């Protein structure tokens, strides 16, 4: 059954943030907002860089979100403002929306959502809106602030145009349209933003998109710690290089097994076609791929294609100049990480006496694999993860795209306060910049709810 995002009635007098946002809106546009929309950020507990390979991931929504106040008019003009003065006002006609992937500014994420809904619903024209956005998710920190903004914008446009779209369809639309900004994300962030429910993490599976509750074990809390190294995945090519390396690995493995490799794009699709277990896929990687990096020439030779064909049909716009591709390491990470997600869920479901230790171990293995095989960590994140483990976490790992951003740790409840104190002392206090950010950088989190429309009474 298709479920639409909920519409929740809220009492403005009970909610300081909404009250302030309403004031900011009135100050800006001299009218009251008609409705509000919110979409949360997320923390991924396990399953990193495998969603775009077709594999299930296990995130939960966090309490921090993007909140937008909106009024609707007939002007066909979108007027955007942000409560953070760092993000400048922007106005555009709905007929003239352009998104420049070379210059990922904040309003482009909003426009991705606008464009997505316009295309999904084949709307020849869209209502005009005035909107003020207020965000509490730290930007470029691996907690999905950009996808939350895309999702919030999608929801705003749906409501402003009085359309009714299911959460699954909105999640798929927002996944697709965020690619206008240039990164080839896999859908985890948008899916959890719409499908999250308070109190439960989710196993998110793709093709078709669906989610299953995962009850996290009693006796532990999840703590997010920001390394304070910013990573904007749209501003670099790290992310897309990984997507492309996985794609090339898929094709080489498929060709080796005599499959029609040209149409295969994802390591997960390859597994489905071969009907093999994840262990067997790891064996195949060992048998076929070598640990040394592949050059473009070698890839072309193996696949029997020209350099031009490689550039046109396999590489993406911002990976054309890449010269080395580590296929063995990336494929090994993906198949072993996909297995860890299933094990994590199985441990949560069966809740054995040593559940915390088992889950912690899986998180630690995931970090090692991200660091050594996928090479998406960085020195500060490795140091932070190490500090978190020594401070009492049973498991700690980078979360999100990596190359900076946050670590997530599982900490036995009774060690929570001493853990927070130690991490603060060892990672944040020795550095003035980090120390200044510690309040919004180190916090306990629990599974939050998904995107919603809010109307005030």
Residue 432 vs residues 16, 118, 381, 429, 436: alpha-carbon distances, Å:
30, 46, 17, 7, 6
Nearest distance, CB of residue 132 and ligand GLA, angstroms? 25
In this complex, which beta carbon is closest to ligand GLA, that of residue 185 or of residue 448? 185
Phi, psi of 210 (to 5 degrees): -155, 160
In this complex, which beta carbon is closest to ligand GLA, that of residue 130 or of residue 371? 371
Give every CB contact of residue 132 below 8 A, 6+ residues apart in sequence: 21, 24, 25, 28, 29, 33, 68, 69, 81, 82, 83
Cα–Cα dist 28/132, whole Å: 9
Question: Is residue 337 a contact point for ligand GLA (CB under 6 A)?
Answer: no
Nearest distance, CB of residue 352 and ligand GLA, angstroms? 27
> Of the ranges 21-29, 43-51, 153-161, 206-214, which one interacts with ligand GLA (CB under 6 A)?
43-51
> Total number of residues binding ligand GLA (CB under 6 A)?
13
Select from 185, 360, 447, 450 the one that contacts ligand GLA (CB under 6 A). Answer: 185
Contact assessment for residue 182 and residue 317, using Cβ atoms and an 8 Å cutoff: yes
String of DSSP letters for 207-226: TTTEEEEEPPPTTEEEEEEE
Question: Is residue 49 a contact point for ligand GLA (CB under 6 A)?
Answer: yes
Cα–Cα dist 382/132, whole Å: 37
Nearest distance, CB of residue 238 and ligand GLA, angstroms? 10
> Of the ranges 113-121, 186-194, 265-273, 304-312, which one interacts with ligand GLA (CB under 6 A)?
186-194
Contact assessment for residue 203 and residue 345, using Cβ atoms and an 8 Å cutoff: yes
Say what the alpha-carbon torsion angle 262, 263, 265, 270 is, to the nearest 10 degrees. Answer: -90
Question: Is residue 172 a contact point for ligand GLA (CB under 6 A)?
Answer: no
Cα–Cα dist 404/226, whole Å: 8
In this complex, which beta carbon is closest to ligand GLA, that of residue 52 or of residue 110? 52
Contacts to ligand GLA from residues 135-154, by CB under 6 A: 144
Question: Is residue 41 a contact point for ligand GLA (CB under 6 A)?
Answer: no
Nearest distance, CB of residue 94 and ligand GLA, angstroms? 26
CB atoms within 10 A of CB 368: 14
Question: Per DSSP, which regions of 11-127 are E strands?
Answer: 35-46, 58-73, 77-82, 90-93
Select from 60, 188, 203, 315 the one that contacts ligand GLA (CB under 6 A). Answer: 188
Q: Around 50, how many Cα atoms within 13 Å sit in the side-chain half-sphere? A: 30
In this complex, which beta carbon is closest to ligand GLA, that of residue 355 or of residue 410? 410
Burial readout 248-268 (b: 16 or more C-beta within 10 A, e: otherwise): bbbbbbbbeeebebeebbbbb
Contact assessment for residue 48 and residue 100, using Cβ atoms and an 8 Å cutoff: no
What does the radius of gyration of the chain's CA atoms come to, in whole angstroms?
22
In this complex, which beta carbon is closest to ligand GLA, that of residue 130 or of residue 167? 167
Work out whether strand 128-135 and strand 77-82 pair parallel, antiparallel, or are unpaired. Answer: parallel
Is-catalytic flag, 189? yes
Question: Is residue 400 a contact point for ligand GLA (CB under 6 A)?
Answer: yes
Cα–Cα dist 254/266, whole Å: 10
Work out whether strand 128-135 and strand 58-73 pair parallel, antiparallel, or are unpaired. Answer: antiparallel
> Of the ranges 159-167, 187-195, 264-272, 334-342, which one interacts with ligand GLA (CB under 6 A)?
187-195
Nearest distance, CB of residue 325 and ligand GLA, angstroms? 18
> Of the ranges 1-9, 11-19, 184-192, 295-303, which one interacts with ligand GLA (CB under 6 A)?
184-192
Nearest distance, CB of residue 448 and ligand GLA, angstroms? 17
Nearest distance, CB of residue 453 and ligand GLA, angstroms? 24
User: Nearest to ligand GLA by Cβ — which residue?
Assistant: 185
> Of the ranges 124-132, 183-191, 287-295, 353-361, which one interacts with ligand GLA (CB under 6 A)?
183-191
Select from 54, 113, 135, 186 the one that contacts ligand GLA (CB under 6 A). Answer: 186
Select from 37, 40, 41, 48 the one that contacts ligand GLA (CB under 6 A). Answer: 48
User: Out of 84, 100, 189, 372, which one is annotated catalytic?
Assistant: 189
User: Catalytic amino acids?
Assistant: 189
Chain residues binding ligand GLA by CB under 6 A are: 44, 48-49, 51-52, 144, 185-189, 400-401
């Amino acid at each position: 059954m298709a479920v639409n995002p909920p519409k929740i009635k809220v009492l403005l007098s009970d909610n300081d943030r909404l009250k302030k946002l309403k004031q900011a809106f009135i100050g800006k546009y001299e009218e009251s907002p008609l409705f509000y929309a919110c979409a949360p950020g997320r923390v991924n507990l396990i399953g990193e860089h495998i969603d775009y390979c077709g594999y299930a991931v296990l995130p939960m929504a966090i309490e921090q979100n993007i909140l937008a106040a909106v009024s609707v008019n007939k002007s066909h003009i979108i007027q955007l403002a942000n409560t953070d003065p760092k993000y400048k006002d922007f106005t555009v006609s709905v007929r003239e929306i352009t998104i420049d992937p070379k210059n990922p500014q904040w309003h482009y994420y909003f426009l991705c959502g606008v464009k997505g809904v316009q295309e999904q619903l084949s709307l020849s024209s869209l209502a005009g809106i005035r909107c003020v956005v207020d965000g509490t998710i730290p930007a470029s920190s691996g907690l999905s602030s950009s996808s939350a903004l895309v999702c919030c914008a999608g929801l705003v446009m749906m409501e402003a145009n009085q359309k009714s779209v299911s959460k699954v369809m909105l999640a798929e639309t927002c996944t697709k349209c965020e690619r206008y900004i240039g990164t080839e994300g896999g859908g985890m962030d948008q899916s959890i933003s719409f499908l999250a429910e308070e109190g439960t993490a989710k196993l998110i599976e793709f093709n078709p998109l669906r989610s299953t509750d995962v009850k996290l074990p009693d006796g532990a809390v999840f703590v997010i710690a920001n390394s304070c190294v910013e990573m904007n995945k749209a501003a670099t090519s790290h992310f897309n290089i990984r997507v492309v390396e996985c794609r090339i690995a898929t094709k080489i493995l498929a060709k080796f097994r005599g499959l029609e490799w040209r149409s295969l794009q994802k390591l997960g699709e390859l597994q489905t076609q071969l009907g093999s277990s994840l262990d067997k896929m790891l064996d195949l990687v060992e048998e076929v791929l070598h640990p040394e990096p592949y050059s473009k020439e070698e890839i072309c030779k193996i696949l029997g294609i020209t350099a031009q064909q490689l550039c046109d049909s396999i590489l993406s716009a911002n990976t054309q100049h890449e010269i080395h591709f580590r296929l063995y390491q990336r494929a090994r990470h993906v198949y072993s990480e996909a297995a860890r997600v299933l094990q994590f869920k199985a441990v949560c479901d069966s809740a054995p006496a040593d559940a915390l230790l088992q889950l912690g171990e899986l998180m630690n293995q995931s970090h090692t694999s991200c660091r050594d095989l996928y090479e998406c960590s960085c020195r500060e994140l490795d140091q932070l993860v190490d500090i978190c483990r020594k401070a009492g976490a049973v498991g700690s790992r980078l979360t999100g795209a990596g190359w900076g951003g946050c670590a997530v740790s599982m900490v036995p409840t009774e060690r929570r306060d001493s853990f927070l104190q130690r991490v603060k002392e060892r990672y944040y206090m020795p550095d003035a910049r980090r120390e200044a950010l510690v309040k919004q950088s180190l916090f306990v989190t629990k599974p939050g709810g998904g995107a919603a429309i809010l109307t005030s009474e």
